[in-house]
């Protein structure tokens, strides 16, 4: 039982969407890289196993950020009075162009990686920028920090300013070189990242489709985020049946290509049917959807129809990296949607949103995001004594308070069985 150990504390997790499982003063046994089980006491056969005792603290699965832009962390909270396309033009693109300077990129990424490593997030799907050396630097830093992430060198060969452009040939050649140069990393893996359809020519998409099949890579992009973007895509791609079809035409929409699509606020029935059929993961990014005036995604509807859904911070469309914050944002805007838009879809509950933030998004990484047997061990230990109240709280209430009130910083964190702090 090399590397086996046990954790002791108050466990909370969501084995199914909307179902909060609690194990007060439980013991989790971890062996051979997987959770063996969660028990009331240490079973006889595990006597002698080292036990890390977290006393009365809460232990939750590590949170999953299914969509964020590492290259945008440096300017989070800026330019938030603009709609998506203006924000891209006036804030995101000029800021991302700075990552051509490797020294600047290293400084910016080191701040980002420190923040992510300290947070309750254990896995993330990240956009870098189009710059290969900076993207490699980010991947190395994340790997060093012990994080498990997918990271994408962004591809964009049209509708971009001169300061942030690449030709089709450059984009494809740089992508191949980046794949070669990142191949040695143990825990941080590449993910193909066409920025979104307005940024990518058909030729680039076709080339990325070929690379996807050659290297069996996953992919991530943006989909049906904002109304002005959706109508632009309809003009750019008259042959696409709907926005998602413009990815699907190049084999970059689920199926053999594990895919995350961020937002999906305006996805219509055909697009949703294809996402479901192909097992496309939806990254719901509620704060970004509010900041850049995209709208409120029908997430409850996604859950009811059996879509695969996780949460994303979408920094810097979202200003906050905390996935606890994404949970409460998702719940709150689902309530506004229910009241103001569609009385048929009730609001999200905390166990539903916690599920999306853990097991829902975690499924993109394998068996991740739960404490069930066979799962990898991603766990965060939350000390709610920093949130004093004279009122006695049940364990479920303590979980709710931590989600709504904590600053999101765990006191201990395990990623794939390794304790980071
Ligand atoms: N669509 C294309 N690029 C971006 C981006 O950087 N952020 C968001 N929110 N949407 C995008
Ligand atoms: Fe995004």
Strands 34-39 and 19-31: antiparallel
Omega prior to 316 cis, within 30 of 0: yes
Structure letter (DSSP) for residue 315: B
SS3 of residue 312 by DSSP: coil
SS3 of residue 377 by DSSP: coil
The pLDDT score that the predictor gives to residue 165 is: 87
In sequence order, what E strands does 75-213 have? 121-127, 148-152, 154-155, 188-190, 193-194
Ligand 1 pocket, mutate which of 70, 232, 312, 317 (most atoms under 8 A from CB): 317
Residue 192: strand pairing partners: 219
The pLDDT score that the predictor gives to residue 150 is: 99
Asked if residue 407 has pLDDT above 90, the reply is no
Token reading at 146:
């012990």
Q: In what order do the strands lie in the sheet with 188-190?
A: 63-69, 121-127, 148-152, 188-190
- pLDDT > 90: percent of the chain: 99
* Residue closest to 267 by CA, chosen among 293, 292, 294, 238: 294
Ligand 1 atom 9: the closest Cα is on which residue? 317
Identify which ligand lies nearest to the alpha carbon of 125. Answer: 2
**What number is the average pLDDT over the span 285-292?**
98
> Which ligand 1 atom is at minimum distance from the Cα of 317?
9
- pLDDT tens-digit series, residues 246-281: 999 999 999 999 999 999 999 999 999 999 999 999
Ligand 1 pocket, mutate which of 195, 228, 264, 288 (most atoms under 8 A from CB): 195
Which amino acids bring their CB within 6 angstroms of ligand 1?
69, 84, 88, 92, 195-196, 222, 225, 288, 292, 314, 317
- pLDDT tens-digit series, residues 214-239: 999 999 999 999 999 999 999 999 99
* 284 vs 338: CA distance, rounded Å: 17
Q: For the chain, state the CA radius of gyration.
A: 21
What angle is formed at CA 320 by the lines to CA 64 and CA 305, rounded to 5 degrees? Answer: 45
Kindly tell me the burial class for residue 273, based on how many C-beta atoms sit within 10 Å of its own C-beta (0-12, 13-18, 19 or more): middle
Residue owning tokens 């048929």: 344
Residue 188: strand pairing partners: 149
- pLDDT tens-digit series, residues 64-110: 999 999 999 999 999 999 999 999 999 999 999 999 999 999 999 99
**What number is the average pLDDT over the span 38-62?**
97
107 C-alpha vs ligand 1 centroid, how far in Å? Answer: 22
All residues at 6 or more sequence positions from 5 whose CB lies less than 8 Å from its CB, including other chains: 30, 49, 50, 51, 52
- pLDDT tens-digit series, residues 321-356: 999 999 999 999 999 999 999 999 999 999 999 999
Backbone angles phi, psi at 132, to 5 degrees: -60, -50
SS3 of residue 277 by DSSP: helix
Strands 154-155 and 193-194: parallel
Asked if residue 2 has pLDDT above 80, the reply is no
Token reading at 44:
């006889």
**What number is the average pLDDT over the span 277-288?**
98
- pLDDT tens-digit series, residues 139-189: 999 999 999 999 999 999 999 999 998 999 999 999 999 999 999 999 999
Confidence of residue 1 (pLDDT cuts 50, 70, 90): low
Distances (CA, A) of 402 to 324, 354, 381, 407: 8, 12, 11, 8
> Which ligand 1 atom is at minimum distance from the Cα of 288?
9
**What number is the average pLDDT over the span 372-395?**
97
pLDDT, averaged across the chain: 97
């Amino acid at each position: 039982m090399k590397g086996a150990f046990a954790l002791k504390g108050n466990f909370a997790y969501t084995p199914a969407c909307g179902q909060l499982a609690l194990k007060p003063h439980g013991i989790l046994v971890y062996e051979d890289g997987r959770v063996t089980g969660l028990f009331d006491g240490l079973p006889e056969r595990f006597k002698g196993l080292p036990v890390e005792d977290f006393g009365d603290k809460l232990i939750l699965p590590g949170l999953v950020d299914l969509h964020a832009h590492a290259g945008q962390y440096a300017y989070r909270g800026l330019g938030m009075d603009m709609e998506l396309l203006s924000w891209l033009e006036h804030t995101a693109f000029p800021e991302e162009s700075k990552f051509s300077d490797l020294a600047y990129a290293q400084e910016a990424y080191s701040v980002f990686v420190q923040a992510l490593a300290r947070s309750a997030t254990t896995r993330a799907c990240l956009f870098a920028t189009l710059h290969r050396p900076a993207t490699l630097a980010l991947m190395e830093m994340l790997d060093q920090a012990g994080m498990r992430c997918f990271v994408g060198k962004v591809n964009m060969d049209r509708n971009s300013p001169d300061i942030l452009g690449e030709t089709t040939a450059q984009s494809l050649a740089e992508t191949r070189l980046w794949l070669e140069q990142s191949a040695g990393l143990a825990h941080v893996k590449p993910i193909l990242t066409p920025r979104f359809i307005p940024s990518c020519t058909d030729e680039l998409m076709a080339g990325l489709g070929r690379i996807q099949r050659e290297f069996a890579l996953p992919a991530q992009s943006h989909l049906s985020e904002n109304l002005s973007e959706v109508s632009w895509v309809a003009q750019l791609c008259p042959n696409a049946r709907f926005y998602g079809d413009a990815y699907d035409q190049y084999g970059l929409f689920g199926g053999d290509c594990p895919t995350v699509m961020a937002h999906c606020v305006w996805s219509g029935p055909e697009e949703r049917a294809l996402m479901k059929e192909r097992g496309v993961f939806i990254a719901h990014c509620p704060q970004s959807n509010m900041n850049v005036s995209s709208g409120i995604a029908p997430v409850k509807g996604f859950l009811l129809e059996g879509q695969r859904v996780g949460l994303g911070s979408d920094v810097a469309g979202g200003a906050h990296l905390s996935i606890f914050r994404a949970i409460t944002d998702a719940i709150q805007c689902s309530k506004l949607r229910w009241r103001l838009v569609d009385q048929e879809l009730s609001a999200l509950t905390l166990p539903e949103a916690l599920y999306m933030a853990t097991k829902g998004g975690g499924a993109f990484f394998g068996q991740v995001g739960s404490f069930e047997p066979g799962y990898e061990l991603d766990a965060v230990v939350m000390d709610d004594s920093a949130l004093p109240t004279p009122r006695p709280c049940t364990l479920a209430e303590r979980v709710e308070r931590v989600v709504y009130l904590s600053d999101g910083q765990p006191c201990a964190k395990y990623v794939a069985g390794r304790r980071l702090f």
